[in-house]
Amino acid sequence: MPEVYIPKDLTQVQNKVIFGLTRRQLVCFSLAAVVSVPIYLLTRKPLGGDTAMVLLIVSALPFFFTALYRKNGQPVERCLKNYARVRFLTPRNRPYQTNNRLATLERQAKINEEVEHIALYEQKKQPACAKKRRLEQRPDRPTGHAADKRAAQRVRKNGKAGKTRR
């Protein structure tokens, strides 16, 4: 009983024109014959039969390669075009950059701690009479957010900036 091969992926099915060859393969093999046979006939007598046969094979190989090779469903010329575009036409330096919000928050928290540390250092440098006249301690102006007050009290109590909650 004869068996019939049915491919699972119908995109791989190609129409056969003649001798079980596709149109692309038929054109490439014909070009290989048109180029290689004259090379063999012209070099057979001067170089000898073996060397002429090697030249025939070497001159026909690019056409056979073009006819038969497919990578990821793409023919050779499309693969070469993509390679040339990636290799020569687009810039090589493409740095990978992300917009990481957590890292941004961590950097901002670190900057805030540095600012608090600098402010406390400046506050300790001031004489006692200048501390009384500070803008934040005036009764008609609020001193800021309650969390900022607690952080400043913690720093004053411990003598160093602690970890902040996130």
- First and final C-alpha spacing in the chain: 74
For the chain, 166 residues long, give each residue's pLDDT as a single digit of tens: 788 777 677 666 676 767 667 888 888 889 999 999 999 999 999 998 899 999 999 999 999 888 888 888 888 889 999 999 988 888 778 777 777 888 889 999 999 999 999 988 887 777 665 555 554 555 554 555 556 666 677 777 776 555 555 4
Same domain (yes/no): 74, 107: no
Domain count, the chain: 2
Residue 46 belongs to domain spanning:
10-89
Residues 120 and 152 in one domain: yes
Is 22 within the bounds of a domain? yes
Q: Are residues 108 and 133 in the same domain?
A: yes
Q: Which two tokens stand for residue 163?
A: 């970890």
One domain, residues 40 and 108? no
Domain end point (choices 49, 67, 89): 89
Residues 20 and 68 in one domain: yes
**Distance, CA of 83 to CA of 58 (rounded, Å):** 24
Question: What tokens were used for 155?
Answer: 């720093």
Length of the chain: 166
For the stretch 149-162, pLDDT in tens is 666 777 777 765 55
User: Is 145 contained in some domain?
Assistant: yes
* CB distance 109 to 166 below 8 Å: yes
Beta bridge partners of 18: 21
In a domain, 95, yes or no: no
**Token pair for 22:** 């596709």
3-state secondary structure 53-91: HHHHHHHHHHHHHHHHCEECCEEHHHHHHHHHHHHHHCC
84 and 17: one domain? yes
